[in-house]
A and B are shown apart, each in its own frame.
Chain A
Amino acid sequence: MMRDVVVAFVLLNVLVLVVTYVTYVERKFAARMQSRIGPYRVGRPHGWLQPIADAIKLLIKEDIIPAMADRPVYNLAPIVFLIPSFLIFATVPFAPGLGLADLNIGILFFLAVSSLEIVGLFMGGWGSNNKYALLSSMRAVNQIISYEIPFVLAALIPVLLAGSLRLSAIVQAQSGLWFVAYPVIGQLAFAAFIVATIASENRVPFDILEAESELVAGFRVEYSGMKFALIQLAEYTHMFGVSCLGALLFLGGWLGPGLPGPVWFLLKALFIFLLVTWVRWSFVRIRVDQILRFSWKVLLPATLILVMATGLWVALRSGHVS
């Protein structure tokens, strides 16, 4: 009991720190892609204190609540948004035995809790009583509901291959070969997972719900100060959490030669994160109808067929079907 509390406390703080620096990595990476330098002034070398400076700036800013806002909903939204983002790390095993709770249905827990994020997003959009925010949350509902299903189906393929819902068991099953390296099935599933991740994290080219050019900043347009910081933190934490899930499901988690397990794990999660960032700075935004059509008419059938093919393959391999 006591041990769990301590582990959770440490984990939370490490997470906040890691995620803060993940934003820094993204900014530097984006700058590279656009032949800029990125944050440079605060802290030497290369402005490494910039995230801390940003955090302090946001903390001391004035907290503005719009006069016509739905106050309880507006105030609760950042918290409701933040909690699931941190909760998903409860079942993530960073190395054998290193993690909070290695549930036997870990991946289900991850998917369930991560899907709660939409409630907070919605509350923010509604509570602000702002047309941009409202439009944004309506789009978010459309999009997240649409991509939730392919996301779950893509995550189901490693589950089928490993024969377990326990995240550590899924990693163990990849000790011979990472699932991403499985011929055809692995690559297709990984691609589908990445696409669904980008969409469910609302990143370019699927970022219609915060589309700066039309909706200003989407559902968080009215938030300022600490609440804005919480929303940003939640978003990046969630993104990082899903990257971790990708690393566990497809890239073999902590497995790897030489380096210690957690380092491998962090590198792999960062790789997926940068992959998504790479896409973000390379493509243009697509329209709402295109996004929905792509989900329902391409991604969903594709992942469904993939799941069936994987199931057949697993059945053949285990000799249940002769």
Chain B
Amino acid sequence: MELVTFFGVAILAVASALGLVLRRNPIHGALFLVVNLGCVAVLYLLLGAEFLALAQIIIYAGAIMVLFVFAIMVLIPGKEETGPDPLRPQRLLAVPLGAVLLLEAVLVLRSHVVGGGSSRFPGHQPGSPLAAVPPAVRPGGIESVGRLLLGDYLFAFEVTSVLLLAALVGVLTLAKRKAE
């Protein structure tokens, strides 16, 4: 059952990501992104990270994406992007370069993971990246997220609030200019 869900959602996620990249209508692209983010949320759910999944939906699919769509709508009223592509040579060059990079990454990973997979550091079994996390609290559960946020990562949590304050001041600075 879980496997079926996983493959269904994974295929949908990849398909929507492709839709996002390939569609020229920006609104459709943004809506595909909503689908994609929702799929990723379901994948989180399958991993047992409920809080992350729901936060993903509330923040990304619910709020941020809607702002995206809003901005797109205000800026480009429905017209599909057309006209000659000024970056065409770069794009053509990008395909072989991307392929080379992919090939390289695959080769490196193959030689190391398949060949020398056993020589990894202790406490880390290949394929289970969460093995190093203490099993006392179930990772991904809201309780463990809360403990981490206000425990080990308390400082990062507080710095984030400073970061948001800086962003707030920055936005004010940029927005106030219009009024003057």
Chain A stretch 188-229: residues in CB contact (< 8 A) with chain B: none
Asked whether B54 is an interface residue with its Cβ less than 8 Å from the other chain, the reply is yes
Shortest Cβ distance from residue B25 to the other chain A in the assembled complex, whole angstroms: 8
Which of B51, B55, B65, B78 contacts A119 (CB under 8 A)? B65
1/0 per residue B44-55: CB within 8 Å of A? 000000110011
Is the CB–CB distance between B50 and A141 below 8 Å? no
The residue among A70, A126, A165 with the most chain B CB atoms within 10 A of its own CB is A126
Asked whether B27 is an interface residue with its Cβ less than 8 Å from the other chain, the reply is yes
Chain A stretch 84-125: residues in CB contact (< 8 A) with chain B: 103-105, 108-109, 111-113, 115-116, 118-119, 122-123
Residues of A within 8 A of B63 (CB): 115, 145, 148
Asked whether B10 is an interface residue with its Cβ less than 8 Å from the other chain, the reply is no
Residues of B within 8 A of A141 (CB): 66-67, 69-70
Chain B stretch 4-50: residues in CB contact (< 8 A) with chain A: 27-28, 31, 34, 38, 50
Is the CB–CB distance between A122 and B66 below 8 Å? yes
For the complex, give the distance between the alpha carbons of A70 and B55 in Å.
Answer: 30
Is the CB–CB distance between B62 and A105 below 8 Å? no
The chain A residue with its CB closest to the CB of B50 is: A105
Asked whether A270 is an interface residue with its Cβ less than 8 Å from the other chain, the reply is no
The chain A residue with its CB closest to the CB of B69 is: A122
Is the CB–CB distance between A165 and B142 below 8 Å? yes
Asked whether A58 is an interface residue with its Cβ less than 8 Å from the other chain, the reply is no
Is the CB–CB distance between B54 and A108 below 8 Å? yes
Given contacts A73-B28, A113-B57, A115-B57, contact A103 B66 (CB under 8 A): no
Chain A stretch 35-60: residues in CB contact (< 8 A) with chain B: none
Is the CB–CB distance between B66 and A112 below 8 Å? no
Asked whether A138 is an interface residue with its Cβ less than 8 Å from the other chain, the reply is yes
The chain A residue with its CB closest to the CB of B57 is: A112
Which of A108, A116, A145, A152 contacts B51 (CB under 8 A)? A108
Residues of B within 8 A of A162 (CB): none
Is the CB–CB distance between A148 and B62 below 8 Å? yes
Residues of A within 8 A of B28 (CB): 72-73
Chain A stretch 134-167: residues in CB contact (< 8 A) with chain B: 134, 138, 141, 144-145, 148, 152, 165
Chain A stretch 230-269: residues in CB contact (< 8 A) with chain B: none
Shortest Cβ distance from residue B154 to the other chain A in the assembled complex, whole angstroms: 16
Residues of A within 8 A of B73 (CB): 126, 134, 138
* Total count of chain B residues near the partner, CB < 8 A: 23
Residues of A within 8 A of B103 (CB): none
For the complex, give the distance between the alpha carbons of A144 and B66 in Å.
Answer: 10
The chain A residue with its CB closest to the CB of B27 is: A126
Shortest Cβ distance from residue B22 to the other chain A in the assembled complex, whole angstroms: 15
Asked whether B108 is an interface residue with its Cβ less than 8 Å from the other chain, the reply is no
Residues of A within 8 A of B65 (CB): 119
Asked whether B58 is an interface residue with its Cβ less than 8 Å from the other chain, the reply is yes
Residues of B within 8 A of A113 (CB): 57
Residues of A within 8 A of B38 (CB): 116
Shortest Cβ distance from residue B40 to the other chain A in the assembled complex, whole angstroms: 13
Residues of B within 8 A of A152 (CB): 58
Shortest Cβ distance from residue A301 to the other chain B in the assembled complex, whole angstroms: 14
Is the CB–CB distance between B57 and A138 below 8 Å? no
Shortest Cβ distance from residue B79 to the other chain A in the assembled complex, whole angstroms: 13
Given contacts A105-B142, A165-B142, contact A119 B54 (CB under 8 A): no
Is the CB–CB distance between A145 and B50 below 8 Å? no
Residues of A within 8 A of B66 (CB): 118-119, 122, 141, 144-145
Residues of B within 8 A of A105 (CB): 50-51, 54, 142
The chain B residue with its CB closest to the CB of A108 is: B54
Which of B31, B51, B57, B78 contacts A123 (CB under 8 A)? B31
The chain A residue with its CB closest to the CB of B70 is: A141
Residues of A within 8 A of B61 (CB): 115-116, 119
Interface residues of A (CB under 8 A from B): 70, 72-73, 103-105, 108-109, 111-113, 115-116, 118-119, 122-123, 126, 129, 134, 138, 141, 144-145, 148, 152, 165
Identify 19 residue pairs between A and B in the complex whose beta-carbon atoms are under 8 Å apart, listed by A's number: A72-B28, A104-B142, A105-B50, A105-B142, A108-B55, A109-B54, A112-B54, A112-B57, A115-B61, A116-B38, A116-B61, A116-B62, A119-B34, A122-B66, A122-B69, A123-B31, A126-B69, A138-B74, A141-B67
Given contacts A73-B27, A105-B142, A138-B73, 18 further A-B contacts (CB under 8 A): A73-B31, A105-B51, A108-B51, A108-B54, A108-B58, A108-B142, A109-B54, A116-B61, A119-B31, A119-B65, A122-B69, A129-B78, A141-B66, A141-B67, A141-B69, A141-B70, A148-B63, A152-B58
8 interchain residue pairs of minimum CB distance? A115-B62, A112-B57, A112-B54, A108-B54, A112-B58, A141-B70, A118-B66, A105-B50
